[in-house]
Amino acid sequence: MKMKYITTQNINQKQLINLYNSVGWTAYTKNPTGLKAAINNSLLTIAAINEDKLVGLIRVVGDGVSIIYIQDLLVQPSYQKQGIGTHLVKLVLTKFQAVRQKVLLTIDEPETRFFYKKCGFRSCDQGQLVAFYQEF
């Protein structure tokens, strides 16, 4: 497998929708125009490409100076557990190593906790921080 990691906002719309659908993130794919706008307005988007096929993606929002927020990290299920997600996170953390706050919000599942802890993140429920969110 010859994986390429490309910093780009120019991602094939059909492949983008297929990737989001493959992990069940249909809230994004119900509004393809909004998804494309979100990609275009991101601080950074890195695509994992295998033989011209989009198999993974990480998307970062924020100011890039004091805070970054990893908004999306997706890897197509048939490509998971091959180090692609870990590599995408490492690329982001390397690029923004001087940024003090690196934040993400995700579902609370044991496998998800394990992955992000392995990437160097700490859960707010195990530190001195608190996280708040509002869903519509």
Any domain includes 133: no
CATH number for the domain harbouring residue 96: 3.40.630.30
Any domain includes 132: no
Any domain includes 15: yes
Any domain includes 13: yes
Any domain includes 9: yes
Q: What is the pLDDT of residues 54-88, one digit of tens each?
A: 999 999 999 999 999 999 999 999 999 999 999 99
Domain that holds residue 72: 3-126
CA dihedral 81, 87, 88, 91 (to 10 degrees): 170
Report yes or no on whether pTM surpasses 0.85: yes
* Contact predicate 65/99, CB 8 Å: yes
Assign residue 51 a region (left: φ > 0; alpha: ψ between -120 and 50; beta: otherwise). left
Q: What is the pLDDT of residues 14-53, one digit of tens each?
A: 999 999 999 999 999 999 999 999 999 999 999 999 999 9
Per the structure, the count of domains in the chain is 1
Any domain includes 136: no
